[in-house]
Amino acid sequence: MIQVLQQGIMDSVQDTGRYGYQHLGINPGGAMDRAALAVANSLVGNELGEAAIELHFPASAFLFEENVLIALSGADFGAMINERPVSINKPFFITSQTVLRFTRPVWGARCYMAIQGGLELPHWLDSHSTHLKAGAGGLEGRVLQKYDRLSFRRNTIQLKTEMPLPWTADVRELYTPGNVIRVTTGSGWELLDKAGQASFGGDFHLTEQSDRMGFRLQGSPIHTIPYEEMLSAGISRGTVQLLPNGQLIILVADHQTTGGYPRIAHVIAADQPTLAQFSPRHHFSFHVIDPETARELLWQQEQRLLFLQNACKLRLEEWLHSKGLSTN
């Protein structure tokens, strides 16, 4: 059992999302940074898509009422366990009555806390993800609040000593170096005039109006050729839409299911974890690639995550065996 001692900002339970319901107006949602979710779960021996707690800074503080194995991945928020610093991308055992809190934003925008065995929460439409608009999923369909308590689904590893385990996940190849986000062109790309296509490769930054629905960008206005008003059509995470004022918005986890603005590009799936770690005022540029390259990059990322999952599982089993413990 975990108790929320201090409420954070927009912290919620998220997994990989719910699919197959967009025709009903229900978007997939899920974790903003799916790579970090997978890493955190791998480190504690869970399935890659197991529900975890998505944290933003200032983040919630937690009291652990049981011994449990946890891991943090994604953003580094200066985590402290009983006032001692702990590292991200590393599994560690928590003992009963331990307090976990976050002290400062070191890097990134979203941190994920995975708990060995997962959280004991009801499914809604085949997912544990919190859907704030519908008020469903996660914990009562809302963000975490002070005094909330979350139960573990199962707690099969018992250790009486608080300690980090002696390995760390290398996540460097899961994120794009530099400040470039790769995209493929969308159905609205041909609506841009030559100057508009050229300005698409310029400098943009996230505005304060960015949230889990969309990242609003500020940059040089992008110009189009004259075109008729477009009918609304289905949209997906990563779609880059051109607004009437010439600015852009990137649709992210909690995007609406349809949209009528020109869909000029799509952020490739392999770069969406990098994008998810951008904070307001972060500057970056776009780089257009072909769909075949985008598919290859996603395949490489998925293979790295599967390799990490298998490596962590083996290391955990070997370490527990050396201590006379078991995951069964």
How confident is the model over 212-268, as pLDDT tens digits?
Answer: 999 999 999 998 887 766 667 788 999 999 999 999 999 999 998 888 889 999 999
Which pLDDT belongs to residue 328?
54
Among residues 281, 287, 233, which one has the least CA distance to residue 265?
287
Q: Is there a single domain that holds both residue 189 and residue 225?
A: yes
Q: Is residue 316 part of a domain?
A: no
CATH code of the domain containing 194: 2.40.100.10
Alpha-carbon torsion (80, 280, 49, 25), positive or negative: positive
What is the rounded average pLDDT of the residues 152-166? 75
Q: Is there a single domain that holds both residue 30 and residue 132?
A: yes
In contact, 62 and 102? CB cutoff 8 Å: no
Euclidean distance between CA atoms 6 and 33, whole angstroms: 23
Q: Is residue 233 part of a domain?
A: yes
Q: Is there a single domain that holds both residue 15 and residue 152?
A: yes
Number of domains present in the structure of the chain = 2
Q: Is there a single domain that holds both residue 161 and residue 199?
A: no
In contact, 296 and 271? CB cutoff 8 Å: no
Q: Are strands 204-206 and 180-185 parallel, antiparallel or unpaired?
A: unpaired
Give me the chain's average pLDDT, please.
Answer: 93
Q: How many Cβ atoms from other residues are within 10 Å of residue 229's Cβ?
A: 5
Q: Is there a single domain that holds both residue 162 and residue 27?
A: yes
Q: Is there a single domain that holds both residue 199 and residue 148?
A: no
Q: Is there a single domain that holds both residue 38 and residue 139?
A: yes
Q: Is there a single domain that holds both residue 8 and residue 120?
A: yes
Q: Is there a single domain that holds both residue 103 and residue 27?
A: yes
| 97 φ, ψ (degrees, to nearest 5) | 75, 20
Assign 156 a pLDDT band (cuts: 50, 70, 90): low
| 10 φ, ψ (degrees, to nearest 5) | 65, 35
pLDDT surpassing 90 at residue 161: no
Domain range for 186: 180-289
Q: Is residue 10 part of a domain?
A: yes
Whether the bond between 291 and the residue before it is cis, its omega within 30 degrees of 0, is: no
Q: Is there a single domain that holds both residue 146 and residue 188?
A: no
Q: Is there a single domain that holds both residue 46 and residue 80?
A: yes
Total-model pTM: 0.95
Q: Is there a single domain that holds both residue 189 and residue 255?
A: yes
The span from the first CA to the last CA of the chain, in angstroms, equals 20
